[in-house]
Amino acid sequence: MPLTDADRNEIISRLNKSMAKVCPPMIQKSASDKGMEIIGNKPVPYGYKKEIIPGMYFASSVARKDMVSFYFFPCYTQAKALGALAPKLMKCLKGKTCFNIKKVDQVDEKEVTALLKAGVKIWKEMGYMK
């Protein structure tokens, strides 16, 4: 069954609401009804040239035609530890950091909020946060 506009909006709303709970300390880089992006709050060197960027990418949500994508970068290094916090959401993990969500019941706000808060802790440990 294709994703309806109402379901897509509900999924985006739940993800954005959870991401807003970690801002601050995270910085909201962009937000709209089509998604949100948040970054760390400390300028850090990035890439092989070690150019200073305003904050390390943390998470984002993006509305797509047939799904909603949720990107969560702390998952890249800590997938096993974080997986226990959000078992429903982990079933949607495609690749290392991308969750492809096709149903509203795959997004539990408590799980997503717990996952994001654990990610903030990881970002602080890695030196991407003040």
> Is 96 within 8 Å of 75 (Cβ atoms)?
yes
Question: Which of 125, 124, 113, 130 minimizes the C-alpha distance to 22?
Answer: 113
pTM (whole model) above 0.85: yes
- The pLDDT score that the predictor gives to residue 1 is 62
Strand 35-39 with 57-63, pairing: antiparallel
Would the pLDDT of 82 be above 90? Answer: no
- Sketch out the chain's domains with CATH numbers: 5-124 (3.90.1150)
The per-residue pLDDT for range 10-63, each reduced to its tens digit, is 999 999 999 999 988 888 888 888 889 999 888 988 889 999 988 888 999 999
> Is 11 within 8 Å of 4 (Cβ atoms)?
no
pLDDT band at 68 (very low <50, low <70, confident <90, very high): very high
